[in-house]
Amino acid sequence: MFIMFKRAAVFFILTALLTLAACSETGNPGSDKNNETNTNNQMQKQGKADQTVSKSATLKLSAKSLQKGDKSDAVNALQQALKKIGYPIQISGTYDEDTTWAMTDFQLQQKDLDITGMYDQQAKASIEKALHGAVDVDPGKALPHQDKPQKDDHGIVISNPYEILSLVNKSHALPTDFVPKDLVTPDVPFPFTEDLPKKQMRKPAANAMENMFAAAKKDGINLYAQSGYRSYERQEALFASYAEKDGEDAANKYSARPGQSEHQTGLTMDVTSPAIDFGIDERFADTKEGKWLAAHCADYGFIIRYPKGKEDITKYEYEAWHIRYVGEKAAKQIMKNHSTLEEYLKKLPK
């Protein structure tokens, strides 16, 4: 009798447990589905977060400045970062033309960056923001990429006119319609008061010019800026007048054809002094101002663009007054070696 009672009790307990389990499964038919949906949403959110972090987690961008020709692990990391934000460049460890293009395009799309094609601390901060999705980037929107160089009647058309190291000469011409978007007037002395376009320079060059003129003043040197930016149309008119006066061949030795003038880059300034009545001629080289400029311009990123003895390379006569901004690294190497921009660029790793 006791055994039958025990079996009945066990049967009752098992039946109760099964009933509770069934109720649990059917009491809230949507609970499992809701749980599954919530889990998927959480996984998607976490996936997006992991994806954003992965863009930058393995990259450590350099605190040092980088530019065309540099070859290092720091360049490799920069190229990886640029590729992750959408730029179709090769990761080679060499700061090449495509890396320069990507940096220039990126800088053109940001409001507060100097447009140079070089990598610096400003660019580092913006690229890191882009890697985290805090900065919008549309690769190629500001400066379309060109696979092959274009040519016109003036020679090879420069595809990246904003690059600080852009080569402008008798075989490399600026686009006809190129007008730099970052032109400003440097706060330096001019021998005239009119608000003319030739007072202007691109912002990076203008800032360097201000620093250089301030240093010259401390040394008792009276430098004056005479002629900076010049449009394609203005150069066209000037060359035509020189050619009419001296003949085209003669004019081509001291004046650039339209599109081939460095003045159109906004990176150039003709400098003068009161010692030669603010003229622009060979006398400037023998003044204390001309000697100071040749000795110190590289410290501020400028070079004497057409040095004496290099006429066969530059194709222009010696101009002690014509300085071109290329950045401090390139300027110091060029001036130290008594070379030209052409020679400097030719030796850079490709």
Report the run of H or E that residue 314 belongs to, with start and end. helix 311-314
- Name the maximum alpha-carbon separation found in the chain: 136
Q: For residues 41 and 239, give the distance between their C-alpha atoms in angstroms, rounded to a whole number.
A: 68
* pLDDT tens, residue by residue, 100-136: 999 999 999 999 999 999 999 999 999 999 999 999 9
The per-residue pLDDT for 58 is 61
Q: In sequence order, which ranges of 145-275 are alpha helices (DSSP H)? A: 203-218, 232-246, 248-254
The per-residue pLDDT for 54 is 45
Low-confidence ranges of the chain (pLDDT < 70): 1-58
Calculate the alpha carbon distances from 44 to 47, 84, 131 in Å. 5, 20, 19
* pLDDT tens, residue by residue, 255-274: 999 999 999 999 999 999 99
Report the run of H or E that residue 157 belongs to, with start and end. strand 155-157
Name the architecture of domain 61-147: Orthogonal Bundle (1.10)
Domain ranges of the chain: 61-147, 167-346
User: Structure tokens of 186?
Assistant: 């440097």
CB 124 within 8 A of CB 73: no
The per-residue pLDDT for 155 is 80
CB 131 within 8 A of CB 82: no
Calculate the alpha carbon distances from 217 to 189, 211, 234, 293, 328 in Å. 11, 10, 32, 12, 20
**Of 130, 174, 133, 119, residue with least CA distance to 150:** 174
Q: How far apart are the first and last CA of the chain?
A: 100
CB 296 within 8 A of CB 215: yes
Q: For residues 305 and 330, give the distance between their C-alpha atoms in angstroms, rounded to a whole number.
A: 12
DSSP 119: B
The per-residue pLDDT for 108 is 98
What are the residues facing 269 on neighbouring strands?
323
- Provide CATH code, domain 167-346: 3.30.1380.10
Would you list the DSSP string of 43-103? HHHHHHHHHHHHHHHT----SS-B-TT-BSHHHHHHHHHHHHTT------SB--HHHHHHH
Calculate the alpha carbon distances from 215 to 201, 242, 335 in Å. 19, 35, 18
Secondary structure tally for the chain: helices H, strands E: 12, 9
